[in-house]
Structure 1
Amino acid sequence: MQVSVPMDPPLRQVNSYILPEGADGITVIDPGPRSPETESVWQSVLDELGLSWKGIREVVVTHHHPDHYGLSGWMQSRSGCKVRMTRRAHQEALLMWGGQSTMNDTLPAYFAGHGMPESWTTQIYGHLLSFEPQVTPQPQVSYIDPAEPFVMGGRTWQPLVTGGHAPGQISFYHAESGHLLCGDAVLPQISPNVSLLPGSDESPLLTFLQGLEQLGSYPVSLAFPGHREPFRGWSERTHSLIRHHEERLQTTEALLAAGPRSGFEVCDSLFRGRIASVHQMRFAMSETLAHLVELVRRERAVTVEQDGITRFALKESASGAITTS
């Protein structure tokens, strides 16, 4: 059973999946962000199924983003269920929203170091604060061992851990049917955001591309994603996403031809006219940086420190090598 759970624009809804556990229980996969509206949605779902909150046996979270993880602690408090996710995914949740998290301050400062003006960094700070109600309370988490088969909904699934979009993200593959619960690892029609964030994966685009190669090798008959509708053509979709990012790397590299540019300057060129909100700016900036550091890793670009701002430049220009830090 697929449940469309409302969330903030631009995506507007996240897919949660319900798997039956006997006659009077369910497992919930990715319950969605917490809000009065989503709480009401889940009460209606349980009423429709004729279940009480105690009927929720487990909540399984594919990754730590608020639109997937957010309601897990609230559901646990009402049902007493286990919340399951990978250890790395939980570490990322604590990095973002744990009691010792400094991300609300760290990320705006990080973006400023890559050239983002204060008019945007101030908005980023407030934007990050707005997620806290969506993930409160935090759950007590039981970790999934990716090396072991995972049983839910009367089926035995193979866990597949990838990253790039979210470190520690887990998908579940059922070999007999070819079904794959893929969260946001692969989405139809839209490309999952790939973000460089301080304190997290230092090469997120590399990790994402490696994950696409891994996932694309499985014979998937039907994929159940975190957004949009279930889809077929799995191998074609994974290869399409790989091509998209290789093309984006070429475009990003070309923008450095005129000389060193900050991450914000490159972001502005890549996404000019398409950023309508601070949410979109955060994603665009993080994804731009992910592509820039991948160019550095591939030795096609270098970093240059100028006036306290990190800039990126081609490793070699037409006139020869440039000075690097």
Structure 2
Amino acid sequence: MTTIPDIKDWNEEEITRVRISMAPPLRWVNSYLLRGPEGITIIDPGPRTETSEAEWEEAWHELGILPQEITSIVLTHHHPDHYGLAGYMQSLTGASVTMSRRAHEESLRMWGKDSMMCEELPRLFRRHGMPAIWSEQIAEHLDGFIPQVTPSPNITYITEGSYVCMGGRNWLAIETAGHAPGHLSFYDIERGIILCGDSVLPQISPNVSLLPGSDSQPLRSFIDSLVKLGELDVKLAFPGHRNPFSHFAERTNGLIKHHEERLLRIEALLQQSSQSGFEICTALFGNDLGIHQMRFAMSEALAHLVHLVDQGRVVEKISPTDAGMILFSSIK
């Protein structure tokens, strides 16, 4: 028996949220549905699994929607829990699928037929001290996402500064990179409403990852995005996970402070001794993690370390005892 997904309407804002199941620890992703004269738009349909396909069938039934009434699928970014169902849903509905060009490029870098991420990411992690017991799990772990993002959709590109008509209103596309290159948020200036994807989340901090061939300074991109978002007059934010919230500027400032504090903690660890990225990772997050969380933790630790190097607070060097492994040292 299929569980009917949690569906909630914000009548004043004319937004419907459909919670779609995903793997722990987040457990569900927020998909949003907006109805307007142009048709029905779905934002971030979720990962493709048997469960999520069934949940959408139940949601359409509950909402009285026929698949062919869906005219547009809009993606904030390329991560499987947001992007994954887009191609499958496009094949069912004939809807256009839109995202930024950079986000599409990132999807191909991660999930495309010519992707080398299964080789490049373990290699990067090994250079930063990750033991083989972990790095040898990465390729199989990444391959496990392929069914969640298949088939690939045909993409129409959105550029920052353009307006997207959803729910009969024009939403300003704002690039909010850091959590994911090419991430877009959508801002209704008139009403002060933002669909912010994973750029700002209540209660939890969005992951910021260093990945091979991608953004070389993702934490800088993330902080720049938070500063930009914090200047907006937002009355209500609809995030990719957890519940809509009104303390948007406060939350952007809190996330900036969180990362500033983490940078100081890493700097203090490196003042004690030179350490590898993996040593910093386990000092911050421990090692009682599954491979999914370890990948996020390692990539996030590296994002902070390269940010400190870029700021001139930390230097990289090659280990004198383990050729090829990179160590980080505080300059203080």
Fold match (TM-score > 0.5): yes
**Partners of 2:181 and 2:267 in 1: CA distance:** 25
- Per-residue deviation, residues 121-174 of structure 1 (Å, max 9, x unmatched): 111221111100000001110001222222111001111101110000000111
**Partners of 1:291 and 1:167 in 2: CA distance:** 16
Residue 259 (structure 1) shift: 2.2
**Partners of 2:159 and 2:142 in 1: CA distance:** 30
**Partners of 2:259 and 2:23 in 1: CA distance:** 26
* Amino acid corresponding to residue 172 of structure 2 in structure 1: Q
Name the residue aligned to 1:243. 257
* Amino acid corresponding to residue 294 of structure 1 in structure 2: H
Match of 2:129 among 99, 108, 115: 115
* Amino acid corresponding to residue 139 of structure 1 in structure 2: P
Name the residue aligned to 1:290. 303
**Partners of 1:147 and 1:246 in 2: CA distance:** 29
> 2:208 aligned with 1:194, yes or no?
yes
SS of the residue 1:255 aligns to: helix
Name the residue aligned to 1:185. 199
SS of the residue 1:42 aligns to: helix
**Partners of 2:155 and 2:163 in 1: CA distance:** 18
What's the TM-score, normalizing by structure 2? 0.93
Residue 39 (structure 1) shift: 0.1
Name the residue aligned to 1:320. none
Match of 2:326 among 310, 315, 321: 310
Asked if 2 retains the 8 angstrom alpha-carbon contact of 1:260 and 1:304, the reply is no
Name the residue aligned to 2:221. 207
SS of the residue 1:257 aligns to: helix
Residue 51 (structure 1) shift: 2.3
- Per-residue deviation, residues 271-316 of structure 1 (Å, max 9, x unmatched): 126x431111001000000000010001000100121101111124
Match of 2:161 among 147, 150, 154: 147
Name the residue aligned to 2:18. 3
After superposition, where does 1:50-129 map in structure 2 within 5 Å?
A: 50-129=64-143
> 2:45 aligned with 1:27, yes or no?
no
Residue 260 (structure 1) shift: 1.6
The more displaced of 42-51 and 77-86 is 42-51
What's the TM-score, normalizing by structure 1? 0.95
**Partners of 1:291 and 1:43 in 2: CA distance:** 41
* Amino acid corresponding to residue 264 of structure 2 in structure 1: Q
SS of the residue 2:203 aligns to: coil
**Partners of 1:148 and 1:85 in 2: CA distance:** 12
* Amino acid corresponding to residue 279 of structure 1 in structure 2: H
Which stretches of structure 1, 4 residues or more, deviate above 6 A after TM superposition?
Answer: none
**Partners of 2:119 and 2:21 in 1: CA distance:** 28
Asked if 2 retains the 8 angstrom alpha-carbon contact of 1:161 and 1:170, the reply is yes
Name the residue aligned to 1:280. 293
Residue 243 (structure 1) shift: 0.3
Name the residue aligned to 1:131. 145
SS of the residue 2:48 aligns to: coil
* Amino acid corresponding to residue 80 of structure 1 in structure 2: G
Asked if 2 retains the 8 angstrom alpha-carbon contact of 1:29 and 1:62, the reply is yes
Q: Say how many residue pairs are matched.
A: 314
**Partners of 1:179 and 1:51 in 2: CA distance:** 25
**Partners of 1:168 and 1:298 in 2: CA distance:** 23
**Partners of 2:110 and 2:132 in 1: CA distance:** 21
- Per-residue deviation, residues 66-95 of structure 1 (Å, max 9, x unmatched): 000000000011111100000000000000
**Partners of 1:6 and 1:56 in 2: CA distance:** 20
Name the residue aligned to 2:270. 256
Residue 50 (structure 1) shift: 2.2
Asked if 2 retains the 8 angstrom alpha-carbon contact of 1:5 and 1:14, the reply is yes
Amino-acid identity (%): 54
- Per-residue deviation, residues 171-228 of structure 1 (Å, max 9, x unmatched): 0111111100000000000000000000000000000000000000001000000000
Gaps of at least 5 residues in structure 1 are: 317-325
